């Protein structure tokens, strides 16, 4: 089905394509009589500007690529909502690329972004990712990048992460203040930067109280939490639990209710992405790391970078704590 083009309109009205183009975008040079005729014609013939042609001409796609390590129910949906709200407001769209926890896939997605000429990239990295080699091409191409949540240490791109130290210490203090004597702390994937930083802060804080006994376990998934807890010999002796994420919490919660340990005097403190908490157990305490907020923040930083244009003007990469 042939779609109406500017040229079609021009021929119908016996004027030039330039005039039609300008009339359509309300250029001040054009007489209002012409504008009216053009707009009417556009309306009747169902003219839809061809974004391909415009992108091609303008070398800007108004599209940004969102690369996430995996699409889970825990964090990603709220992040997407946050990103949406910012990008839609700015007339941008985005496509989602899930790395499925594979560094290789992540790398390919970056190629995809380059090929499809996205205007910018928002990325949260996989557990396997150790450096930013694969991102350097984006830098060369002068495609703005903002890394969020899961990152590796680097100073080439803006990044926004939660304030792990603050959140973790808050959590540790809750358990300490509650008078817990034996604490089980459940962390995520041991290889992740985020896990390590939370681990260190948590340990430091707890170790200031030598009488408190601390056991830490690392679990890549909620299922693994369940498994490990089930084979924990002295489960009942713990009087305090810490989970570093919604996912680890899920495993813990599942395990606690199975043993009828909910509604007990055990203290549970969680750093949570914020979706689940209100449905699990009123007695758990949460430090919320809001995905929506992170989404809006990261997207806003990207928009700023986009507008800054010439990147020579751009100061070096910045680190933001949420």
- Which one of 45-53, 148-156, 231-239, 249-257 is the stretch in contact with DNA (CB under 7 A)? 45-53
> Closer to DNA at the Cβ: 10 or 256?
10
Q: How many residues bind DNA (CB under 7 A)?
A: 30
> Closer to DNA at the Cβ: 140 or 177?
140
Q: Which does 301 bind (CB under 5 to 8 A by kind): a copy of itself, DNA, none?
A: none
- E strands, the chain, are 63-68, 93-98, 120-123, 145-148, 158-161, 182-187, 213-218, 240-243, 267-272, 285-288, 319-321
Q: Tell me how far apart the alpha carbons of residues 150 and 72 are, in angstroms, rounded to a whole number.
A: 14
> Closer to DNA at the Cβ: 211 or 307?
307
| Helices then strands, each counted (H, E), the chain | 13, 11
Q: Residue 154 is encoded by which pair of tokens?
A: 């680097």
| Chain centroid, CA 107 distance in Å | 17
> Closer to a copy of itself at the Cβ: 199 or 224?
224
Q: Which does 98 bind (CB under 5 to 8 A by kind): DNA, a copy of itself, none?
A: a copy of itself
Number of neighbouring beta carbons within 10 Å of residue 179: 10
**Least distance from a copy of itself to the Cβ atom of residue 155, Å:** 21
Q: What is the bridge-based pairing of β-strands 267-272 and 285-288?
A: parallel
| Contact pattern from residue 56 through residue 95 relative to DNA, giving x for each residue in contact according to CB under 7 A and a dash for the rest | xxxx------------------------------------
DSSP assignment, residue 16? Answer: -
Q: Does position 18 bind DNA by CB under 7 A?
A: yes
Q: Does position 112 bind DNA by CB under 7 A?
A: no
Q: Which of 36, 39, 41, 50 binds DNA (CB under 7 A)?
A: 50
CA dihedral 178, 186, 278, 234 (to 10 degrees): -60
DSSP characters over 76-111 = HHHHHHHHHHHHHHTT-EEEEEE-TT-HHHHHHHHH
Q: Which of 30, 97, 243, 302 binds DNA (CB under 7 A)?
A: 30
H or E segment and range at residue 19: helix 17-24
Q: Does position 21 bind DNA by CB under 7 A?
A: yes
Q: Which does 210 bind (CB under 5 to 8 A by kind): a copy of itself, DNA, none?
A: none
Q: Which of 1, 12, 29, 205 binds DNA (CB under 7 A)?
A: 29
Q: Does position 25 bind DNA by CB under 7 A?
A: yes
> Closer to DNA at the Cβ: 34 or 288?
34
Q: Which residues contact 115 (CB under 8 A, 6 or more apart)?
A: none
Angle between helices 222-230 and 246-258 (to 10 degrees): 40
Q: Does position 261 bind DNA by CB under 7 A?
A: no
Q: Which of 1, 11, 16, 285 binds DNA (CB under 7 A)?
A: 16
Q: Residue 110 is encoded by which pair of tokens?
A: 């970056």
Q: Which does 196 bind (CB under 5 to 8 A by kind): DNA, a copy of itself, none?
A: none
Where along the sequence are the contacts to DNA (CB under 7 A)? 3, 5-7, 14-19, 21-22, 24-25, 28-31, 33-34, 47, 49-50, 52-54, 56-59
């Amino acid at each position: 089905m042939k779609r109406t083009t500017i040229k079609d309109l021009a021929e119908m009205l016996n004027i030039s394509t330039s005039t039609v183009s300008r009339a359509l975008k309300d250029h001040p040079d054009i007489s209002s009589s012409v504008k009216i005729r053009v707009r009417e014609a556009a309306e009747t013939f169902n003219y839809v500007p061809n974004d391909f042609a415009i992108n091609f001409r303008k070398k800007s796609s108004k599209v940004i690529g969102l690369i996430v390590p995996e699409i889970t129910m825990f964090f990603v949906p709220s992040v997407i909502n946050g990103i949406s709200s910012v990008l839609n407001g700015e007339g941008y769209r985005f496509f989602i690329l899930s790395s499925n926890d594979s560094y290789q896939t992540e790398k390919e997605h970056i190629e995809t972004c380059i090929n499809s000429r996205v205007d910018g990239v928002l990325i949260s990295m996989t557990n396997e990712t150790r450096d930013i080699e694969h991102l350097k091409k984006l830098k060369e191409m002068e495609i703005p990048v903002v890394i969020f949540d899961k990152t590796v240490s680097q100073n080439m791109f803006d990044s926004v992460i939660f304030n792990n130290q603050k959140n973790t210490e808050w959590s540790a203090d809750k358990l300490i203040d509650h008078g817990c004597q034996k604490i089980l702390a459940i962390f995520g994937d041991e290889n992740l930067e985020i896990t390590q930083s939370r681990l260190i802060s948590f340990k430091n804080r707890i170790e200031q109280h030598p009488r408190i006994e601390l056991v830490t376990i690392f679990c890549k998934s909620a299922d693994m939490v369940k498994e490990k807890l089930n084979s924990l010999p002295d489960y009942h002796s713990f009087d305090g639990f810490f989970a570093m994420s919604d996912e680890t919490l899920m495993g813990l919660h599942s395990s606690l209710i199975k043993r009828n340990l909910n509604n007990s005097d055990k203290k549970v403190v969680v750093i949570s992405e914020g979706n689940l908490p209100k449905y699990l157990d009123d007695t758990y305490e949460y430090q919320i790391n809001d995905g929506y907020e992170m989404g809006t923040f990261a997207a806003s930083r990207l928009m700023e970078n986009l507008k800054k244009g010439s990147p020579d003007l751009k100061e070096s990469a910045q680190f933001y704590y949420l």
